[in-house]
Structure 1
Amino acid sequence: MDRLREMEVFVAIVDRGSFTGASEKLGMSAPAVSRALTSLEARLGTPLLTRTTRSIRPTEAGLSYLDTCRKVLDTITDAEANIAVDRDNPVGTLTISAPVLFGQRFIAPLVNAYARRYPDVNVNAVYDDRTTRLLEEGVDIAIRIGHLGDSSIFAVPLGFVRRRTYAAPAYLAEHGEPVHPRELINHHCVSFTGVSNPFEWEFYENGLRLPVRLQPRMIVNLAPVAVTAAVERIGITQLFSYQAAPEAHAGTLQPVLSAFEPESTPVNLLHVERRGASGKVRTFVEFVTGTLRGNVHLQYGDNAAITDAIGPTPVPAERKVARRAKRPTSVSARNS
């Protein structure tokens, strides 16, 4: 079996997570897939996969070689595509990952527009709030909200979002509005695990980080659930600004503790391609970057407390004087 075919087999095993899945993708028998991998590992002199009864994962050497294989195979795909079609008409399957709510509001419309513009590209869009491993999971493009560590992955800056604290006006009328983050210990709180540590929210005071410990009444792992709980007066919540923008604009939620907001959080588009990227990656990056950089929800690059980009937040005419709330009982909500 030639080297390129062995590379295809190795990549297919990782992408599908099994020898059976790879055999189905490539139209080969499972024994043929196993022989191809054995031949490849023997030629390289090192194991590429760690096998258990439940999973198959690349070794450290396998991860490095996987990156090389993808680049080689993409280069060949592009070379063949460039013979058959114009460079502005890429082919292949593009796998995209983005956080759930951010993806629904901002990425999905662009993906749909891209699919219409490039009909020869098949799109696999995955919306998930967990951090995606691009190399291990065969993801071409990932939208990441948060600070990036050292990595060989290439990042295209798109803008910033703010982490803001919100409450329903009716909740504030009943319980009072906190004027300092430490007062949250006396309030009901709804923690969204995708933004904050459930038991410690981050604020800034006089330019210094101010972590505040609290005892949340509810812990959720989906932003829309946290938004709904806050609107329905379960408690105060901390979210990225775009996640509660419609409710803030409608007046069903309002920012609190704005003077103590944390630093802006960067939003990046990640990919593993270098210069001369495959057509599908190159065209998608070019297609979405300008639009996302112009998105008003990604314009928060400073540390000043600001008004929501979609409009001013209505403020209720009356507020009751802040008073201490009874310490709530902790309840955890999970997505089933």
Structure 2
Amino acid sequence: MQLLLKVVETGSLSAASRDLDIPIATVSRHLSELEAQLGARLLVRSSRRTMLTEAGEAYVASIRGILDLLRQAEQAAAGAYSEAKGAIYMTAPVVMGRTHIGPLIAEFLPMHPEVDVRLQLSDKVIPLVDKQLDLAIRIGHLPDSTLIASEVGSVRRVTCASPLYLARRGMPRVPDDLAVHDCVTFDNLATPEAWRFMEGGTTRSVPVRSRLVVSAAEAALDAAEAGLGITRLLSYQVGDAVRRGGLEIVLERYELPAWPVHVVYQGLQRMPRRLAAFLEFVTPRLRARLSEEASSFDRRVV
């Protein structure tokens, strides 16, 4: 069952083989044995990728819960519910993980020598259940789900540029002024063709010319500081650069409403002690860090 989930997660037998460090022939043989045992074909294999059949999709949906119960049973047998021990698997946005979550983990681990943390940094939303993660840091409004969420703060979507660029090209006063400016777009936050702003209580899209489009916030930040153009990022991503004068906020009065930040985790019937200890430690401290950062950022902008 775990092997099948790994193939589904990675998209192919060869990728699963690499992740698990076992021969691809072994992966193929075990899956064939599973299909023979069930009397149903679970996977359709092509030269490019492996996909689930209809029967496979139903089977995978069922075994996720079974494997979770099995994992809880193993944890209980190992004392995971009576003492903090074992691994915590989590995900967070890249810059948030580097600036806030990493330092908190560094404080937490010495206090719990039997606990390990596996932190996956990504600006994409990684599903907790599909990837068997314990918790995530989410930015933005959350869809309805069975997950439990604790709000720890908020972040702004800010437009900024280097003083060097603004001295050379001029200060945009209204969003439409961006039509004559060079822009750097972080494609996880805005589209290359248009950025959204708040005017008169409603949002509107403003055409922009993206001279550079990047898939990482750090790349947009570096390009903007180098004077390549105006960029749009989240307040915590540009906080250091704004405070030291490397970037200047523009079009502040046209900002979109702030996004909430949540710590999200699965609603388990019985939470492992390691996860409970981590949440008890991280949640109030992350809330305090984000509050202090917002206050410091606002003071610097003013």
Asked whether the two chains share a fold, i.e. TM above 0.5, the reply is yes
| 1:286 alignment counterpart | 280
Query: Equivalent residues in 2 for 1:1-336 (5 A)?
Result: 7-8=1-2, 10-11=4-5, 18=13, 20=17, 30=27, 33-34=30-31, 37-38=34-35, 41-42=38-39, 51-56=45-50, 59-82=56-79, 87-91=82-86, 93-296=87-290, 308-309=297-298, 311-313=299-301
Take 2:127 and 2:292, find their aligned partners in 1: how far apart are those partners? 24
C-alpha distance in 2 between matches for 1:224 and 1:77:
40
Structure 2 CA distance, aligned partners of 1:277 and 1:118? 17
> 1:177: Cα distance to partner?
0.9
SS at match of 2:164: helix
1:208 and 1:57 map into 2 onto residues whose CA distance is: 43
Alpha-carbon offset, residue 142 of structure 1: 2.0
> What SS does the aligned partner of 1:89 have?
coil
1:73-131, Cα deviation, whole Å (9 max, x unpaired): 2321231122xx7723232x322211111111111122233332333233222112222
In structure 1, C-alpha distance between the alignment counterparts of 2:20 and 2:159, rounded to whole Å: 50
Output the amino acid matched with 1:308: F
Mean alpha-carbon deviation: is it higher for 224-233 or for 133-142? 133-142
Cα pair 2:81 2:272 within 8 Å, conserved: no
TM-superposed CA distance for 1:218, in Å, is 1.2
Structure 1 contact 155–269 (Cα < 8 Å) conserved: yes
**Distance (Å, rounded) in 2 between the aligned partners of 1:55 and 1:122:** 33
Structure 2: runs of 5+ lacking an equivalent? none
Change (3 A) 1:35 1:228: closer
Distance in 1 (alpha carbons) for counterparts of 2:202 and 2:171 = 23
Alpha-carbon distance between aligned partners in 1 of 2:169 and 2:262, rounded to the nearest angstrom: 38
SS of the aligned residue for 1:217 comes to strand
What is the TM-score normalised by the length of structure 1?
Answer: 0.75
What amino acid sits opposite 1:75 in the alignment? Q
Identical positions, percent: 29
Structure-2-length-normalised TM-score? 0.83
Are the aligned partners of 2:150 and 2:264 in contact in 1 as well (CA < 8 Å)? yes
After superposition, the CA RMSD in angstroms is 3.1
